[in-house]
Structure 1
Amino acid sequence: MRKIFFLILALLLLLAGPATASEVLGVQSVRSPLYDEAIRGFKSACAVDTRTLVLSDYADADLARVIREERPRLVLAVGDRALAALRKIRKTPVIALMALNVPSQEISSANLSGVNLFVSPERYLSLFQKIKVKRIGIVHDPARSGWYLKLARAEAERLGMELVVREVQNPRQTMGQLDSLKGKVDSLWVLPDTTAVTNETLEAYFLFSQREAIPVISFSASHLKLGAMVALEIDRVELGRQAGEMAQKLLQGAEPGDRAVASPRKVFIMSNDAIMRRFNYSVNLTSRE
């Protein structure tokens, strides 16, 4: 009996011990097929033991306690809700994926890296260059995308283009700022800015495009059916693979400060052929880069 007791005790200690902890703890905002694509890419590049916790499945998840008890070597934050929930984690490296707010948090969190959702300005501006427009209208919130506009302005100046920018601090200001662009621009650039672009304001961009007879280039393929002429859709599997490569380097000993927030590596460039014909464009803009 004594031997059996000690065998059971040893087994319980083994099961409860740190050996069962995953190397990577994934914290996912909600269940979504879009997130699943990115996570699939992540796992293809970082094939280590990973456990995923979906925040929407819990009323109140104490992530600090979970991380303290499970002791993962790295945490993957999938989506903005997950990233916000992990903002107090400072010692464990956090890699952000499918989150818009990576850049602003990069500044204050030395343990944070990841891949943002902003395709490099050069890729957008090369498309504006191909359709031969010079004055590009943008509505944005400096707190959300000011860092990106700084990069875009520098590239636009190099190419001899003018960015006509309007700023908003809340979504209610978007329609008024769009109206102020009337007669001042010959195209619109829609950014993934969650203040300037919401479910309530999105339609206003395409109504403005129709009234002014100017093309829209946007960040989502779903906008093509609403009236965008061209969209740069991020390859989400490749996005996850980028994050997985970052994770692999970290797990192999790279210092947290050695990695920066990266831009998406691959995108699908798609067009709305009916809108292309309306604006008399025959150039082929579609590709996978």
Structure 2
Amino acid sequence: MRPLLLCILLLAWAFAAPALASDLLILQSSRSPVYAEALRGLRAAARTNEQPLVLSDYAEVDVQRLVREERPRLVVAVGDQALIACRKIREVPVVTMLSLSLSQKPQSDRVGGVSMVASPERYMELFAQLGAKQVGVLYDPKLSGLYLKRAAAEAADHGITLTMEPVRHSRDLQGKLEKLKGEVDLLWLLPDSTVVTTVNMEALLLFSMTQGIPAVTFTGQYLKNGAAASLDVDPYDIGVQTGELVFSLLRSGASQKIPMLDPRKVRLQVNESVLRKLRLKMP
């Protein structure tokens, strides 16, 4: 009887083993407070069993092997480095949040998530409120080209013209700014790492001041340096939105195309001093 009992136990373990796999493998780029806040939101919206891993804690992580061993139903990538580490995963879908890379180039149908940039529509609504008709934007086509393609369609619907100057190297920014002189009535700053460097931000905001036009940015941290307004995303709500997507995918079997979503909660911040100086008012 003892060999038979052992055989039964082994078979039971074999059939039960897949159930031990986590619903989620959470890959976090680093121990950032912003990431922690987003994960707090995700866990509030999707109560699942998970296996978390912070990539910056290790010199190297073989993510493909980890997926094979852990057998998660979904991978959640938090931040750019985590999404980059997932680029070769084919076994399971990848849902990402707080990653600029999500909207930079076409992804597999098995990769999606919540962007960390306010939708083009929200920006166009703000530009219209500021009375802007000619909006200048500098961008790296590799990083922001797809987003601006969407923005151009939204701009037309709002009666706004986008003057888009490609910047393929950060040192080219000054020459591109010269082309915008006298041609635009608002400067739009995107979270584009080629354009937005420490040195370039000084030049961009100086251009705004000397040309007497408002600069609208993606984060309120630049308001104190002279930006007129910003549209900030809420990391916690991005986490909640991602968690809701994860819950839906787990419930449906995660077999469909993973959508790419805009953040639903955006906070407008303004620099009242700059707006007064430019004689602009928010309705």
Normalising by structure 2, we get a TM-score of: 0.90
| Counterpart-to-counterpart distance in 2, 1:162 and 1:110 | 32
| Counterpart-to-counterpart distance in 1, 2:104 and 2:89 | 16
Matched, 1:179 2:178: yes
Cα-Cα RMSD: 2.1
1:258 Cα deviation (Å)?
3.7
Which residue of structure 1 lines up, in the alignment, with residue 59 of structure 2?
A: 59
Matched, 1:82 2:82: yes
Is residue 35–residue 78 contact of structure 2 (8 Å, CA) maintained in 1? yes
CA offset digits 1:228-275 (Å, max 9, x no partner): 111000011111111111111111124443431001111110111111
| Counterpart-to-counterpart distance in 2, 1:28 and 1:59 | 14
CA offset digits 1:140-175 (Å, max 9, x no partner): 111211112122112222222211110011222222
Q: Per the alignment, in what secondary structure is the counterpart of residue 280 of structure 2?
A: coil
Percent of matched pairs sharing the same residue: 43
Q: Which amino acid aligns with 2:162?
A: L
| Counterpart-to-counterpart distance in 2, 1:249 and 1:157 | 34
Q: Which amino acid aligns with 2:51?
A: R
| Counterpart-to-counterpart distance in 2, 1:175 and 1:50 | 47
Matched, 1:198 2:197: yes
Q: Which amino acid aligns with 1:119?
A: A
Which residue of structure 2 lines up, in the alignment, with residue 118 of structure 1?
A: 117
| Counterpart-to-counterpart distance in 1, 2:131 and 2:170 | 30
Alignment coverage as a number of residue pairs = 274
CA offset digits 1:27-52 (Å, max 9, x no partner): 01111011111111111111101221
- Describe how 1:250-269 pairs up with structure 2 within 5 A: 250-269=249-268
Unaligned runs of 5+ in 1: 285-289
1:19 Cα deviation (Å)?
4.9
Which residue of structure 1 lines up, in the alignment, with residue 269 of structure 2?
A: 270
Which residue of structure 1 lines up, in the alignment, with residue 24 of structure 2?
A: 24
- My pick for the range that moved more, 71-80 or 270-279, is 270-279
1:132 Cα deviation (Å)?
1.1
Is residue 115–residue 242 contact of structure 1 (8 Å, CA) maintained in 2? yes
CA offset digits 1:187-210 (Å, max 9, x no partner): 101112222222332222101111
| Counterpart-to-counterpart distance in 2, 1:188 and 1:281 | 14
Is residue 179–residue 208 contact of structure 1 (8 Å, CA) maintained in 2? no
Normalising by structure 1, we get a TM-score of: 0.88
| Counterpart-to-counterpart distance in 2, 1:48 and 1:235 | 22
Is residue 18–residue 70 contact of structure 1 (8 Å, CA) maintained in 2? no
